[in-house]
Structure 1
Amino acid sequence: MGRSGGRGHGHRGALRAGCCLAAGLLVLAGCTSGGAPRGSAGGSARPSPTDTPSSPSTAGTGTTGAGGSPAPLVPELDEQQQPRDRAEARALLDRIVIDRDVFGPDVRRSTPFESDPGSWPVLGQDCVWRTAGLPPDVLATSTRQFHIPAADGHGRVRIHATVTVHRTREESGWETAHAMEEVLRCPNQVLRAGEQLTGLWGASLYLGEQLNGWSEDAFSESGQWVGNDSGGPQPYRWSQGQFGPVTVAVAGRGATGFTEEALVALIVQGTGRMMYRAGEALGKVAR
């Protein structure tokens, strides 16, 4: 099962914490060991500029502003474009969700590829993930699973990309807060029998805090993934962003011989692309 989208409600105000990993996509890319991406074994799956904001007329300049913070890449939300029912939410989701081509030629679809649209992962009080029905505030959600096959001296890399459409902006914001609560409550989590996340930590930043210029509310999570076929503890990263009623997220589980910098590059590419598409679909400026 594993993580997907977000989880519901929580106490938001107490969850703000400053850290490099959660400061935004640019900082996420620079927080790996050595401070700069080196690429993966075999040189695959690096970000490209396709479908990224390029002019002030669409989503801001991306340049550094006063106090060292980047100019926002987030357009103004057009509330008239927010979905009113599940059919409209599904149509919006289909405009935002990504496929393997976003990540590069080495990435493949996994089997199963897409989650059950009526299911929702819930982290129990015992820190074990289980599946439930969609909560009332969620209109539509999709998690797609990808992988890079073992090759060129590295093991199998796993990637999950999630889009969730809520009824309102407030509800999508609470999803991010609840994701932070889960890390604080369960730094060690069981995904399924023989598979777990350990040593998790995370942080969440509003738009304009530190270097977050790409999301209304950014959440990031880091730790290690251990599975029956993992070959030992491997890097685990999660990045989530919000625009209006939409949250997007990409999770990555590394492998022996695959650099953590390359894993971060995949996450940056996927999350950035979905955030840009959400802005195109729902932003006043982008329209």
Structure 2
Amino acid sequence: MTVSTPALTRTAGESSHSGAYTLALIAVASFAMTLPATKALTGMLSAQQIGLYRAVIAAMAAIPLLWLARAAWPRREQWLSLAIVSGGNIFGFPLLTSVAMQYVPVSHGAVIVAAMPLATALAAAVLSGIRPPRRFWLYACSGTLIVLLYSLWQSGAAGLYVGDLALVGAVLLGAIGYAKGAELSQQMPGWQVISWVVVLSLPVSLPWSVWVYTPGSLSQLPTIGWSALLYIGLVSSLLGFFAWNKALALGGVARISQVQLLQPFLTYGYSIVLLGESWNWLTAIVCALVIGVVWLSKRQP
């Protein structure tokens, strides 16, 4: 007979949390390219085309994956939750960020999207009834404030843009989708959650994408345009969620969502490597502060 000891239980829990944070970092690193890739498509495709084409591409990739895995169809009681995830992560966030990128620079978009971790924790608290301790909220709000102030300084934008409302809506809907997706990931594998979400969205996304299609909009896309579209379709809308949903299920929505505070810094890092933007020490210092806040929030029960 195997006897479970507190030490063994603690070790297993720590291992699980470490795995959750590793998966979260992989997901956030992939999500950090979403705004730059979406921005690259502006002027080539409309906001609706960008948001809908990426959903159809994700669904076309998910269908064979579900078929090869012989995944069971979602239960009837799970359909509403899948619809909520679809509304937030397949239609809400992609379409609204595509609209926003028509009006604001990527760096300014990072200012608003930086609130996503806090919004996700709040959504999880409301939807699941789980109440993290007050100290967790202190760390979450502190991390969000640090990132917002830094992002505002980085973008040099103190005023409001037309795209801000779209970004706020994207954050709210995306956070609800994250929270519901994590809840479903307790009932089925995380990769199946997002795969079923994009596939079951196809009856809406496919006709809608045909409706907004304009002759030559895809055939005339340059290589960089196709690269950006395939990235947000395959990685931002599908593969990134494989790791993200699993991480949220393993480590808890409130705690793991705080890893996304690092996303603006990864976005800036990509801009340095890919766009040749300049490096500054303030970025490294603020990033270190955010990592400290995430570490402190990780220690909360």
Higher strand proportion: 1
- For normalisation by structure 1, the TM-score amounts to 0.27
